[in-house]
Amino acid sequence: MNRSSYWLVLGLSIPAFIWLVPTLWMVSLSFQPNEVLARTTSSTFFGLIPLPFTWDNYAALFSFGQTPWWFLNSVIVAVGMTLGVLFVSTTAGYVLARMEFPFKRTIMVMCLIGLMVPEQAVFIPLYTMFADFGWHNSYHALILPRMAVPIGVFLMMQFFRAIPKDIEEAARLDGVTWLRIFWYVMLPLARPAMMTLAILTFLYAWNDYLWPLVSAQQREYFTITLGLASIQSNFAQSEGLGRVMASGVIASLPVVILFLIFQRYVVQAMTVGGSKG
Amino acid sequence: MASRSRLTQTQAAWLMLAPFLATYALFLIYPFFRGIWISLHDWNLLAVAFNPDAKEFVGIRNYERVMWGKNITWSLFNAPVWQALGLIGLGLSVFLRRMNRLSRFNAIALAIVSALLVFLPGFHPGEGGRWYDRRFWPTVGNTLTFVAFAVPGVTISALLLAAALNRETRAMSILRTLFFISQVLSVTVVTLIWQIMFSPRQGLIANITETFGGTPINWLTDQQFAMAAIVIATVWWSLGIAMILFLAGLQDISQDIYEAAVLDNAKGVRAFWYITLPNLTRTISVVVILQIILHFQVFGQPHLMTQGGPNDATQVLVRYIYQTGFRDSELGRASAMAVFLFLIMGSFSIIQFVVGREKD
């Protein structure tokens, strides 16, 4: 490392630290006793160092309260949505990339138009629809409306288009059916794109707020994102600041860990999703 | 093998498309048209839930009740600042196009936006008139204010950071991760953190100001600062994706240009100004449009941090739709606003699509 880049790193460390402070503060508060926090939030170095230290907030979260249950709901919804989106997007993406059939262009154009409809513009009709079906307060109500994502189809379509045709054509000459080619030849090749799409969907599902807020009115069906919103408005009175912060940390752990492990895919997903979606 | 019945290509295609088409039609296309249909009815959430026939077709009256008023007139000097800005924009679009400094598309886009800026703020209630819905246009205004601060805030800081971090060393990649990590948090975690950060009694910001002898600001309950607080939290939250897009754009600029520029003594800030920026215009417009679409739909931050207050200062469009629909049970009016939202989002999506295509 030469001198100038040494200074650059040093100079950037300060804003980076400031950027990290809010998150650090949340983590630090979650390890401090509620009685202390009720008095002051800046015990040691503005509260950024968790002294006095306690595990009680986390212990309390798991012994009573609904946080573990909400966490589980989030896992179910996020995993369910991810699998659903993968299934729907890979099949449709493959068909649009490789097969010829009547009305193909119409469907592509329809997908493009679908990209323009924001969820905020359809959440009211979706609500009345699901109410008619009597579907609210269930896992499928939280999962299904998010499965029809044209962006996933486009992502997979672009990936399949980039795969050389030879492999498939050899298989076709041997008389292998389309479904088998898709399942045994194309899907294994598509793993990197599927990873990207899966992570994008999981992050989205975990952090989704508006639709769960509208659809899940019973606390048993809250996701962790929604549950956290329901306890934060009265954090000071009932729950204790330390415990609410501990919930926040628990709610963020899966996505942060996922991000740290699969950083490359997340960045790729954001780039593709961002510039195309 | 030959005896086994086999699907033709068309059959196989439709079979594999079926899951997507079914979910797409059921959960996106149908709700979209149903939304328009609801917006044409006087539709009370609770009444219709008990009796499906309790809705009444009212045509465009919901739109009128939301957006229009009694004795609405138009004049050029109603909102002089905005309208003057619009006129300047109109002039610029013609001038820059003549000078060939703008592509035809950008010139048309600028002209349309400017014309709207002249036209829309000109409406106001005349003598003895009033808006039917006093809160709607101020809410749209708040949303635009939020966009007007959040988008440049995110774009400029992300651009500077990306330019500084565009080096393939271990330290730089760690720094990039640190700046990005807040992006993966959920809106409720972000608002949880910032609500307490901004708290005048317990907040970190207040604690630090007090240590240095200042008086803490009531960020979230002060009409002057509430929107600023939400913008700060939003910039902190959503800087990452813009930074990533800029980094991707920077990768496409050839290193040779910079090396050649060093010979002309263009380094650092000058290189950024004369090489990086001109080569990044397309990425910048993609990021800006993307951010406009994203932030126009802002909901969670004001909903959780300020509940739209104080005194409606942070009430935004999606939150108003949510409240009209689910607190006031007025689904018809809420849907009319949702259609309005869609029209704005849709036009930006079209711009985004065209800009995205321009390079190809």
Return the structure tokens found at B329: 């049970």
Q: Which residues of A touch B297 (CB under 8 A)?
A: 118, 120
For chain B, the domain total comes to 1
Contact A256 B23 (CB under 8 A): no
Q: What pLDDT is attached to residue A243?
A: 87
Percent of chain B with pLDDT over 70: 97
CATH number of domain containing B208: 1.10.3720.10
Domain-located, residue B187: yes
Residues of B in contact with A223 (CB under 8 A): none
Residue-by-residue DSSP string for A176-202: --HHHIIIIIIHHHTHHHHHHHHHHHH
The beta-carbon neighbor of A274 closest among B241, B297, B331 is B241
Question: In this predicted structure, what is the pLDDT of residue A117?
Answer: 83
B268 versus B249: the higher-pLDDT residue is B249
pLDDT score of B229 more than 80: yes
Of the residues B11, B28, B247, the best mutation for testing chain A's interface (the one with the most A CB atoms within 10 Å of its CB) is B28
Q: Which of residues 180-239 of A touch B (CB under 8 A)?
A: 182, 203, 206-207, 209-210, 213-214, 225-226, 228-229, 232-233, 235-236
Whether residue B47 is contained in a domain is answered as: no
Burial class (CB in 10 A: 0-12, 13-18, 19+), B237: buried
Nearest-Cα residue of chain A relative to residue B203: A41
pLDDT tens per residue, range B31-71? 999 999 999 999 998 888 888 888 889 989 999 998 898 88
Q: Which residues in chain B are closer than 8 Å to A29, comparing Cβ atoms?
A: 196
Instruction: Report CA A226 to chain centroid distance, whole Å.
Output: 14
In this predicted structure, what is the pLDDT of residue B221? Answer: 84
The chain-wide mean pLDDT, for chain B, equals 87
Q: Tell me how close the Cα of B89 comes to any Cα of chain A, in angstroms.
A: 27
Query: Tokens standing for A149?
Result: 């994502």
Instruction: Establish if B297 belongs to a structural domain.
Output: yes
User: Residue A108 class from Cβ within 10 Å (0-12 exposed, 13-18 middle, 19+ buried)?
Assistant: middle
Contact present, B219 and B198 (Cβ < 8 Å): yes
Both tokens of A220, joined, read 């048993």
Q: For residues B50 and B57, what is the distance between their CA atoms, to the nearest angstrom?
A: 18
pLDDT exceeds cutoff 70 at B129:
yes
Q: What is the pLDDT of residue B162?
A: 92
Please tell me if residue A115 touches chain B, with a CB cutoff of 8 Å.
Answer: yes
Q: Is residue B212 part of a domain?
A: yes
What is the interface size between A and B, counted as CB pairs within 8 Å? Answer: 276
Output the tens digit of pLDDT for each of chain A's 277 residues.
567 778 888 888 898 999 999 999 999 989 988 887 777 777 777 778 888 888 888 888 887 778 889 999 999 999 999 999 999 999 999 999 988 888 999 998 888 888 888 888 899 999 999 998 888 888 999 999 888 888 889 889 988 988 888 888 888 888 888 888 889 888 999 998 899 899 889 998 998 999 999 999 888 899 999 988 888 766 555 568 888 889 999 999 999 999 899 888 888 777 776 654 4
Residue B169 belongs to domain spanning: 135-325
Q: Please give the average per-residue pLDDT across B202-226, as a whole number.
A: 84
Domain annotation covers residue B345: no
pLDDT at residue A263 in the model: 86
In a domain, B143, yes or no: yes
DSSP H or E segment with residue B136: helix B136-165
Q: Is B130 helix (H, G, I), strand (E, B) or coil?
A: strand
**Complete domains list, chain A, with CATH:** 3-54 (no CATH), 63-276 (1.10.3720.10)
Yes or no, beta carbons of A26 and B341 under 8 Å apart: no
Q: Does A253 touch chain B (CB under 8 A)?
A: no
Report the pLDDT value the prediction gives residue B21, as an integer from 0 to 100: 92
| Contact at CB, B300 and A147, closer than 8 angstroms | no
Per CB-CB distance under 8 Å, the chain B contacts of A102 are 10
Q: What's the confidence (pLDDT) of residue A277? A: 41
Interchain contact A175–B (C-beta under 8 A): yes
Given an 8 Å threshold on Cβ–Cβ distance, is A16 in contact with B179?
yes
Q: CB A42 to CB B204 under 8 A?
A: yes
Interface contact flag, A22 B236, Cβ < 8 Å: yes
**A245 close to B (CB below 8 A):** yes
The pLDDT, as a whole number, for residue B173 is 87
**Mean pLDDT across B83-110:** 86
Dist CA B154 CA B234 (whole Å): 8
Q: pLDDT at residue B177 above 60?
A: yes
Which of B167, B204, B342 lies closest to A25 in CB terms? B204
Angle, in degrees to the nearest 10, between helices A119-133 and B331-358: 130
- Per-residue pLDDT band for B81 (boundaries 50, 70, 90) equals confident
pLDDT confidence of residue A276 = 47
pLDDT confidence of B3, banded at 50, 70, 90? very low
- The DSSP string of B313-355 is TT--HHHHHHHHHHTS-BHHHHHHHHHHHHHHHHHHHHHHHHH
Buried-exposed string A57-96: b where 16+ CB fall within 10 A, e elsewhere: bbebbeeeebbeebbebbbebbbbbbebbbebbbbbbbbb
What pLDDT is recorded for position B167? 82
| B151 in a structural domain | yes
Q: Answer whether A228 sits within 8 Å of B192, measured CB to CB.
A: yes
For chain B, say whether A14 makes contact (Cβ under 8 Å).
no
CA distance A244 to chain B (A): 9
Secondary structure class of B73 (helix, strand, coil): strand
Count Cβ neighbours within 10 Å for each residue of A225-248 and write b for 16 or more, e otherwise.
Answer: bbbbbebbeebeeebbbbbbbbbb
Establish if B179 belongs to a structural domain: yes
CB nearest A147 (choices: B23, B165, B318): B23
Is B209's pLDDT higher than 60? Answer: yes
> What confidence tier does B2 reach under pLDDT thresholds 50, 70, 90?
very low
ipTM summary value: 0.89
